[in-house]
């Protein structure tokens, strides 16, 4: 008797209908070729990122551009959005392995890296918006190759110079 009453309930019917629509929407997303390519690459990217302690963006961006097929101006913000989610979960998982209290002695370094990273990201996003997509891809490829072949001391020197130049520019613009 209760089953008959449930089937005649308009609210229950509406819920079943919404559930069917959600299932159909998920199935259509799974059939999407972009989803299938991205999902196929997520396991190796996640595995590599987990091994080296990164968010996976260094591996994910080329996949989004060259395998999935997004243009660079779409792939970069998409990669950043996925990185935000991935890094949030990585922080939660890694906080179980290393206590937050163990990081307290390094708060000055963390703060410096965070402030420098935010400032560099803001400046970099402004510069990138002024560059043509073709030049952006070439520059990224050349920069990646340069970092791959350059000795660590040279990379440190260049990064140090960039940081000093950025700090000088900020200091000059403040006055």
- 3-state class percentages of the chain: helix first, strand second, coil last, to nearest 5: 90, 0, 10
Domain boundaries, the chain: 34-97
Long-range pairs for 159-164 at CB < 8 Å and ≥24 separation?
Answer: 163/116
Q: How far apart are CA 87 and CA 78, in angstroms?
A: 14
4-13, 29-38, 133-142: segment of lowest average pLDDT: 4-13
66-115 confidence digits (pLDDT tens): 888 888 888 888 888 888 888 788 778 777 877 778 888 888 888 888 88
71 contacts: CB under 8 Å, gap ≥ 6 = 65, 133
**Sign of the dihedral through C-alpha 55, 59, 62, 68:** negative
Convert the pLDDT of each residue in 116-163 to its tens digit: 888 888 887 787 777 777 777 777 777 767 766 777 777 777 777 777
6's CB contacts (< 8 A; 6+ apart) are 12
Q: How far apart are the two ends of the chain, measured CA to CA in Å?
A: 81
User: Residue 8's pLDDT band (boundaries 50, 70, 90)?
Assistant: low
Integer angstrom CA distances of residue 134 from 57, 68, 72, 129: 20, 18, 9, 12
Alpha-carbon gap, residue 109 to 51, rounded angstroms: 23
Q: What is the pTM of this model?
A: 0.50
pLDDT recorded at residue 68: 83
């Amino acid at each position: 008797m209760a089953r008959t009453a449930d089937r005649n309930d308009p609210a229950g019917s509406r819920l079943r209908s919404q559930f069917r629509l959600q299932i159909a929407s998920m199935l259509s997303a799974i059939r999407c070729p972009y989803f299938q390519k991205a999902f196929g690459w997520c396991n190796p990217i996640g595995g590599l990122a987990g091994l080296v302690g990164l968010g996976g963006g260094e591996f994910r961006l080329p996949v989004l551009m060259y395998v999935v097929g997004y243009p660079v101006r779409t792939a970069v913000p998409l990669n950043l959005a996925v990185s935000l989610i991935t890094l949030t979960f990585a922080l939660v998982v890694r906080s179980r392995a290393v206590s937050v209290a163990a990081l307290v002695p390094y708060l000055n370094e963390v703060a410096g890296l965070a402030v420098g990273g935010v400032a560099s990201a803001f400046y970099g996003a402004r510069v990138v918006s002024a560059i043509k997509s073709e030049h952006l891809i070439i520059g990224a490829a050349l920069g990646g190759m340069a970092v791959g072949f350059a000795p660590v001391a040279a990379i440190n020197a260049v990064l140090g110079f960039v940081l000093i130049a950025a700090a000088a520019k900020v200091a000059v613009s403040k006055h």
